[in-house]
Structure 1
Amino acid sequence: MSIKQSYELAKKEYEKWGINVDEALEKLKQVPISIHCWQGDDVSGFEVNKGELSGGIDVTGNYPGKARTPEELRSDLEKALTLIPGKHRVNLHAIYAETNGEVVERDKLEPKHFENWVNWAKENGLGLDFNPTLFSHEKSADGLTLSHPDQEIREFWINHCIASRKIAEYFGKELGSPTLTNIWIPDGYKDVPSDRLTPRVRLKESLDKIFEEEIDEQYNIDAVESKLFGIGSESYVVGSHEFYLGYALKNNKLCLLDTGHYHPTEMVSNKISAMLLYSDKLALHVSRPVRWDSDHVVTLDDELKEIALEIVRNDALEKVMIGLDFFDASINRVAAWTIGTRNMIKSLLNAMLVPNDHLKQLQEEGNFTERLALIEEFKTYPFGAIWDYYCEQMGVPVKETWLEDVKKYEKEVLSNR
Structure 2
Amino acid sequence: MRNKKQVVEAYALAKDLYGRIGIDTEKAIERLTQIPISMHCWQGDDVTGFEQTDCQLSGGIQSTGNYSGKAKTPEQLRGDLEKAFTLIPGKKRLNLHAMYLETEGERVDRDEIEPKHFKKWVSWAKGHNIGLDFNPTLFSHDKANDGLTLSHPNKGIRDFWIEHCKRARKISAYFGRALGTPSVMNIWIPDGFKDVPVDRLGPRQRLKDSLDKILEEKMDPAYHLDAIESKLFGIGSESYVVGSHEFYMGYAVKNDTVLCLDAGHFHPTEVISNKISALSLFTNHLLLHVSRPVRWDSDHVVLLDEELREIALEIVRHNLVNRVHIGLDFFDASINRIAAWTIGTRNMMKALLIALLEPTDALIKLEQDFNFTKRLAYLEELKSYPWQAVWDYYCHKNGFPIGLDWMEEVKNYEAEVLAYRCK
The one of 149, 154, 157 aligned to 2:161: 157
Counterparts of residues 212-291 of structure 1 (less than 5 Å): 212-291=216-295
Q: Does 1:391 align with 2:391?
A: no
Q: Given residue 288 of structure 2, which amino acid in structure 1 is its aligned partner?
A: L
TM-score by length of 2: 0.98
CA–CA separation in structure 2 for the residues paired with 1:173 and 1:333: 31
In structure 2, the partner of 1:35 is 39
Q: Deviations over 1:21-41 (max 9, x none)?
A: 100110110000000000000
SS, match of residue 182 in structure 1: strand
Q: Given residue 233 of structure 2, which amino acid in structure 1 is its aligned partner?
A: F
Q: Any gaps of 5 or more consecutive residues in structure 2?
A: none
In structure 1, the partner of 2:413 is 409
- In structure 2, relative to structure 1, the CA distance for the partners of 1:175 and 1:50 (3 Å cut) is farther
SS, match of residue 156 in structure 1: helix
Task: Quote how far apart the aligned CAs of 1:362 are.
Answer: 1.3
Counterparts of residues 57-206 of structure 1 (less than 5 Å): 57-206=61-210
Q: Does 1:378 align with 2:382?
A: yes
Are 2:392 and 2:402, in contact at CA under 8 Å, matched by a contact in 1? yes
Task: Quote how far apart the aligned CAs of 1:200 are.
Answer: 0.2
CA–CA separation in structure 2 for the residues paired with 1:6 and 1:47: 50
Are 2:288 and 2:327, in contact at CA under 8 Å, matched by a contact in 1? yes
Q: Deviations over 1:205-252 (max 9, x none)?
A: 000000012322221000000000000000000000000000001001
Q: Given residue 323 of structure 1, which amino acid in structure 2 is its aligned partner?
A: G
Q: Deviations over 1:285-325 (max 9, x none)?
A: 00000000000000000000000000001111111000000
The one of 281, 292, 298 aligned to 2:296: 292
Q: Given residue 324 of structure 2, which amino acid in structure 1 is its aligned partner?
A: V
SS, match of residue 399 in structure 1: coil
Aligned length: 417
Q: Given residue 302 of structure 2, which amino acid in structure 1 is its aligned partner?
A: V
Q: Does 1:369 align with 2:360?
A: no
In structure 2, the partner of 1:7 is 11
Q: Given residue 289 of structure 1, which amino acid in structure 2 is its aligned partner?
A: P
TM-score by length of 1: 0.99
Q: Deviations over 1:255-293 (max 9, x none)?
A: 000001001111100000000011121110000000000
CA–CA separation in structure 1 for the residues paired with 2:33 and 2:54: 38
Are 2:135 and 2:187, in contact at CA under 8 Å, matched by a contact in 1? yes
CA–CA separation in structure 2 for the residues paired with 1:132 and 1:293: 20
CA–CA separation in structure 2 for the residues paired with 1:103 and 1:158: 20
Task: Quote how far apart the aligned CAs of 1:105 are.
Answer: 0.5
CA–CA separation in structure 1 for the residues paired with 2:214 and 2:284: 22
Q: Any gaps of 5 or more consecutive residues in structure 1?
A: none
Q: Given residue 228 of structure 2, which amino acid in structure 1 is its aligned partner?
A: V
Q: Given residue 292 of structure 2, which amino acid in structure 1 is its aligned partner?
A: R
Are 2:256 and 2:284, in contact at CA under 8 Å, matched by a contact in 1? no
SS, match of residue 228 in structure 1: coil
CA–CA separation in structure 2 for the residues paired with 1:79 and 1:40: 11
CA–CA separation in structure 1 for the residues paired with 2:237 and 2:187: 17
CA–CA separation in structure 2 for the residues paired with 1:175 and 1:395: 25
CA–CA separation in structure 1 for the residues paired with 2:277 and 2:361: 16
Q: Deviations over 1:43-71 (max 9, x none)?
A: 00000114110001000000000000000
Q: Does 1:346 align with 2:350?
A: yes
CA–CA separation in structure 2 for the residues paired with 1:351 and 1:23: 13
CA–CA separation in structure 2 for the residues paired with 1:263 and 1:166: 34
CA–CA separation in structure 2 for the residues paired with 1:224 and 1:308: 21
CA–CA separation in structure 2 for the residues paired with 1:278 and 1:16: 37
Task: Quote how far apart the aligned CAs of 1:363 are.
Answer: 1.3
CA RMSD of aligned residues (A): 0.7
SS, match of residue 119 in structure 1: helix
**Segments ≥4 residues shifted beyond 4 Å:** none
Q: Given residue 387 of structure 1, which amino acid in structure 2 is its aligned partner?
A: W
Q: Given residue 382 of structure 1, which amino acid in structure 2 is its aligned partner?
A: P
Q: Deviations over 1:155-183 (max 9, x none)?
A: 00000000000000110111011100000
SS, match of residue 155 in structure 1: helix
In structure 2, the partner of 1:315 is 319
Q: Given residue 86 of structure 1, which amino acid in structure 2 is its aligned partner?
A: G
Task: Quote how far apart the aligned CAs of 1:360 are.
Answer: 1.1
Q: Percent identity at matched positions?
A: 65
